[in-house]
DNA sequence: TCGAAATGTTGCGCAGTGCGCAATTTTTGT
DNA sequence: ACAAAAATTGCGCACTGCGCAACATTTCGA
């Protein structure tokens, strides 16, 4: 009943394989055939077939009309939509959010993407209660906030255009990035550094530093801090950026274990 | 390997049970314990335990810190987020969307909820090309469009308040519903009739009729038609409403089979 | 248009796996 | 602190899921 390596882990092989299929199909943008599944899992075609049938019966996989290969199905969608995901992330991340706020002695925020915006789902305030911006529940633009750019970090220019391209990027301040090209460059830099900076790009006299929270190599949210320019000079970028990254990675790790 | 009833359906029992668990956990708002799972599935505690462990290993279930009971996990979230759901629905629904447009000879739209808005993801135009409102990709308010209200149909007053309550309902026209209470009543009526009506509640001289698309008893989107008041008098409400409902239910059925 | 190769689907039988039972450990409630 | 409930582990049998091989269907190239 268990794998070779750990005789003490009582897990169910066929369920595990089914879940692996879901993840494989979910990650590849294109649809996957039975034969490919069999190859990827190293199992027989007939087995792959039976797995696929089972997953489709429950609506976790579906086929495009007329085709035989598989995409994620509506059950996945229905479950994920109904669920209060923010709650999960908030539950797991809140202690570290507070930690970050006290470490740096500024306001810290937790955010996720919602459509074409950033949604702030939690915050923690340091004793210094000028209690700034970005209250929980607010929506802000993606292209000119540290959280937004952190969430976009892994997107290439094409994906950015698909997501934001319909309307031109609105200019909020003189620092706002207004072209997709420039935003793509910025994202590349964020990937390199690990954190995103908003230097008064959304509101005057407000700087933020945020880092993407990753799970299974996908960005699922961001965490960061905000402060007026006077308290967040350039010279502190790398120190604070490091701290934010560490916390973001820690939260990613907690999601993995999530126990 | 198969259930009692159909010896010809080659499905995998333990995967199926695992998926059933995901759906059970996903639908109940609160977290579920091992004991409850065992009860709900009619299996032994030890089995339920092994299922839960397997699901958690892959991140499809998670526990709140310190607790032992289960919520949907981050894998579910990550998969669903990455995926291009609109595409699935558009693929499946487009033929019927066109059908609806030609049947009624007006513009038809397909929409899903995105956060606190309605997102139009597809449309079909009749020959009569005054090609109205609601282009694909646009966001509109939930509380004053037929699509929005159809999507909210199953929500009770508490849920509406949780979703919309932070800011007051904006008044677009003299017909706009502006209180949560009135909206809840309207939703109840929609549930009863099966379709929602927007009588110039969002834009003057524009009426829409839309019906919720359901999957597993959850509203996942809406389909409907739009036309100027002159071409959509009260007397046609029930006839068109019926037609829209029929198509919406048909799409729901296609999602079930989705082949 | 046809035939060959690839893919999808079904039947079958064995071995490995998942199941329930029962014992042990941990948690909860009073 | 004790009892009751829940979680976790061990164990062995039966049944399930697996690969194999046959069959059906689709794809593709000439």
pLDDT tens across B163-194, in order?
887 667 899 999 999 999 999 999 999 999 99
Give the pLDDT of residue A15.
Answer: 93
**Alpha helical stretches, state H, chain B:** 13-27, 34-41, 45-57, 74-82, 85-104, 146-151, 157-164, 180-193, 237-257
pLDDT in tens, B59-96: 899 887 777 888 888 888 888 776 777 778 888 898 89
**Average pLDDT in the A58-67 region?**
83
Mean pLDDT check: name the lowest of A155-159, A197-201, B25-29, B192-196.
B25-29
More confident call, A104 vs B116: A104
CA proximity to A97, closest of A107, A84, A87: A107
Please state, in angstroms and rounded to a whole number, the distance separating the CA atoms of residues B177 and A137: 23
DSSP bridge partners of A63: A70
Question: Is the pLDDT score of A3 beyond 60?
Answer: no
Give the pLDDT of residue A253.
Answer: 85
Chain B residues close to A85, C-beta within 8 Å: 77
Question: Is the pLDDT score of A176 beyond 60?
Answer: yes
In chain A, which among 122-161 make CB contacts under 8 A with chain B?
137, 139
Question: Is the pLDDT score of A7 beyond 50?
Answer: no
Question: Is the pLDDT score of A190 beyond 90?
Answer: yes
C-alpha distance across the termini of chain A, in Å = 23
Give the pLDDT of residue A233.
Answer: 92
Closest nucleotide to the alpha carbon of B9, via C1': C10
SS3 category, B35: helix
Percentage of residues in chain B with pLDDT exceeding 90? Answer: 49
**Average pLDDT in the A152-158 region?**
91
Give the pLDDT of residue B10.
Answer: 76
In chain A, which among 159-198 make CB contacts under 8 A with chain B?
166
Q: What does pLDDT average to over chain A? A: 86
Write out which nucleotides of chain D lie closer than 7 A to a protein Cβ. Answer: 5-12, 16-21
Q: What does pLDDT average to over chain B? A: 86
Q: CB distance from A259 to chain B under 8 Å?
A: yes
Please state, in angstroms and rounded to a whole number, the distance separating the CA atoms of residues A249 and A255: 10
Count the neighbouring beta carbons within 10 Å of the beta carbon of residue B84: 12
Any idea where the domains of chain A sit in the sequence? 13-80, 84-257
Give the pLDDT of residue A6.
Answer: 38
CA quadruple B142, B148, B151, B153: dihedral sign: positive
Chain A residues close to B9, C-beta within 8 Å: 53, 57
Q: What are phi and psi of B12, to 5 degrees?
A: -100, 115
Question: Is the pLDDT score of A61 beyond 60?
Answer: yes
SS3 category, B244: helix
Please state, in angstroms and rounded to a whole number, the distance separating the CA atoms of residues B203 and B103: 24
**Average pLDDT in the A96-120 region?**
91
Answer whether any strand D atom is within 7 A of the Cβ of A9. Answer: no
Percentage of residues in chain B with pLDDT exceeding 70? Answer: 91
Give the pLDDT of residue B114.
Answer: 84
Please state, in angstroms and rounded to a whole number, the distance separating the CA atoms of residues B66 and B69: 9
pLDDT in tens, B216-247: 788 989 999 999 999 999 999 999 999 999 99
Answer whether any strand D atom is within 7 A of the Cβ of B49. Answer: yes
C-alpha distance across the termini of chain B, in Å = 23
Question: Is the pLDDT score of B134 beyond 80?
Answer: no
User: Shortest CB distance from B58 goes to which of A16, A88, A139?
Assistant: A16
Answer whether any strand D atom is within 7 A of the Cβ of A14. Answer: yes
- Full DSSP string of B76-107: HHHHHHHS-HHHHHHHHHHHHHHHHHHHHTSE
Domain A13-80 matches domain A84-257 at the CATH topology level: no
The backbone region for B194, taken as left when phi is positive above 0, alpha when psi lies in -120 to 50, beta otherwise, is left
More confident call, A254 vs B155: B155
Q: CB distance from A120 to chain B under 8 Å?
A: no
Give the pLDDT of residue B222.
Answer: 96
- Full DSSP string of B182-217: HHHHHHHHHHHHS-EEEESSSSTTEEEEEEEEEETT
CA proximity to A133, closest of A115, A142, A145: A145
CA quadruple B79, B80, B82, B86: dihedral sign: positive
Q: Check CB contact under 8 Å for B12 and A62.
A: no
Architecture of domain B13-81: Orthogonal Bundle (1.10)
Query: Nearest residue to nucleotide D6 when comparing alpha carbons to its C1'?
Result: B35
Structure tokens at A151: 């969430």
Burial pattern A212-243, b for ≥16 Cβ within 10 A else e, equals bbbbbebbbbbbbbbbeeeebeeeebeebbeb
- Report the relative pairing of strands B218-228 and B206-215 from DSSP bridges: antiparallel
CA proximity to A75, closest of B125, B7, B80: B80
DSSP bridge partners of B124: B108
Question: Is the pLDDT score of A116 beyond 90?
Answer: no
Closest nucleotide to the alpha carbon of B32, via C1': D6
Q: Check CB contact under 8 Å for B15 and A92.
A: no
**Average pLDDT in the B199-227 region?**
93
Give the pLDDT of residue A133.
Answer: 61
CA proximity to B124, closest of B146, B151, B149, B93: B93
Percentage of residues in chain A with pLDDT exceeding 70? Answer: 90
Give the pLDDT of residue B133.
Answer: 62
Answer whether any strand C atom is within 7 A of the Cβ of A55. Answer: no
pLDDT in tens, B44-55: 888 999 999 899
More confident call, B206 vs A164: B206
Give the pLDDT of residue A9.
Answer: 59
Structure tokens at B38: 């065992």
Strand ranges across the sheet with A107-114: A139-141, A117-124, A107-114, A218-228, A206-215, A196-199
Range among A60-64, A230-234, B150-154, B250-254 with highest mean pLDDT value = B150-154
Give the pLDDT of residue A132.
Answer: 58
User: Shortest CB distance from B74 goes to which of A20, A59, A220?
Assistant: A220
CB B56 within 8 A of CB B73: yes
Give the pLDDT of residue B73.
Answer: 87
**Average pLDDT in the B132-137 region?**
68
Give the pLDDT of residue B8.
Answer: 43
Class of residue B48 by CB neighbours under 10 A (exposed 0-12, middle 13-18, buried 19+) = buried
DSSP letter at B230? G
Please state, in angstroms and rounded to a whole number, the distance separating the CA atoms of residues A34 and A49: 6
Q: CB distance from A92 to chain B under 8 Å?
A: yes
A-chain residue closest to B61, CA distance: A258
Give the pLDDT of residue B163.
Answer: 83
Count the neighbouring beta carbons within 10 Å of the beta carbon of residue B217: 9
- Full DSSP string of chain A: ---SS-TT----HHHHHHHHHHHHHHHSSS-B-HHHHHHHHT--HHHHHHHHHHHHHTTSEEE-TT--SEEE-HHHHHHHHHS-HHHHHHHHHHHHHHHHHHHHTSEEEEEEEETTEEEEEEEE--SS----S--TT-EEESTTSHHHHHHTTT--HHHHHHHHTTSPPPP-STT----HHHHHHHHHHHHHHS-EEEESSSSTTEEEEEEEEEETTEEEEEEEEEEEGGGS-GGGHHHHHHHHHHHHHHHHHHHHH--
The CATH class for the domain spanning B84-257 reads alpha beta
Give the pLDDT of residue B7.
Answer: 39
Say if domain A13-80 classifies as CATH 1.10.10.10. yes
Please state, in angstroms and rounded to a whole number, the distance separating the CA atoms of residues B151 and B40: 30
Chain A residues close to B59, C-beta within 8 Å: 215-216, 255-256, 258
Q: CB distance from A19 to chain B under 8 Å?
A: yes
Please state, in angstroms and rounded to a whole number, the distance separating the CA atoms of residues A89 and A147: 15
Give the pLDDT of residue B221.
Answer: 93
Specify the DSSP element, H or E, that contains B121: strand B117-124
Mean pLDDT check: name the lowest of A66-80, A123-137, B142-156.
A123-137
Question: Is the pLDDT score of B257 beyond 70?
Answer: no
Give the pLDDT of residue B188.
Answer: 94
User: Can you give the pTM of this predicted structure?
Assistant: 0.79
Give the pLDDT of residue B162.
Answer: 82
Give the pLDDT of residue B19.
Answer: 93
Rounded to a whole number, what is the distance in Å from the CA of B50 to chain A's nearest CA? 6
């Amino acid at each position: 009943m268990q794998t070779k390596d750990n005789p003490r882990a009582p897990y169910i092989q066929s369920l595990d394989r089914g879940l692996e299929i879901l993840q494989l199909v979910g990650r590849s943008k294109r649809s996957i055939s039975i034969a490919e599944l069999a190859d990827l899992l190293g199992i027989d075609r007939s087995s792959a077939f039976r797995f696929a049938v089972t997953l489709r019966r429950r609506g976790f996989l579906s086929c495009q009309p007329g085709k035989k290969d598989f995409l994620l199905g509506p059950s996945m969608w229905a479950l994920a939509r109904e669920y209060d995901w923010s709650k999960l992330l908030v539950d797991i991340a809140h202690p570290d959010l507070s930690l970050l706020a006290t470490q740096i002695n500024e306001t810290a925020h937790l955010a996720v993407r919602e459509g074409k915006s950033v949604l702030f789902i939690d915050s923690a305030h340091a004793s210094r209660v000028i209690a700034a911006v970005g209250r929980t529940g607010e929506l802000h633009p993606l292209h000119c906030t540290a959280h937004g750019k952190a969430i976009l970090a892994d997107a290439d220019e094409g994906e950015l255009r698909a997501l934001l391209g319909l309307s031109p990027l609105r200019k909020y301040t003189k620092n706002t990035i207004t072209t997709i090209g420039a935003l793509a460059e910025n994202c590349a830099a964020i990937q390199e550094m690990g954190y995103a900076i908003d230097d008064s790009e959304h509101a005057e006299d407000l700087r933020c530093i945020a880092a993407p929270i990753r799970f299974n190599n996908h960005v699922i949210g961001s965490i960061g801090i905000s402060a007026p320019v006077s308290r967040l000079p350039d010279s502190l970028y790398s120190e604070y950026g490091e701290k934010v990254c560490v916390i973001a990675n820690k939260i990613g790790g907690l999601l993995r274990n999530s126990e």
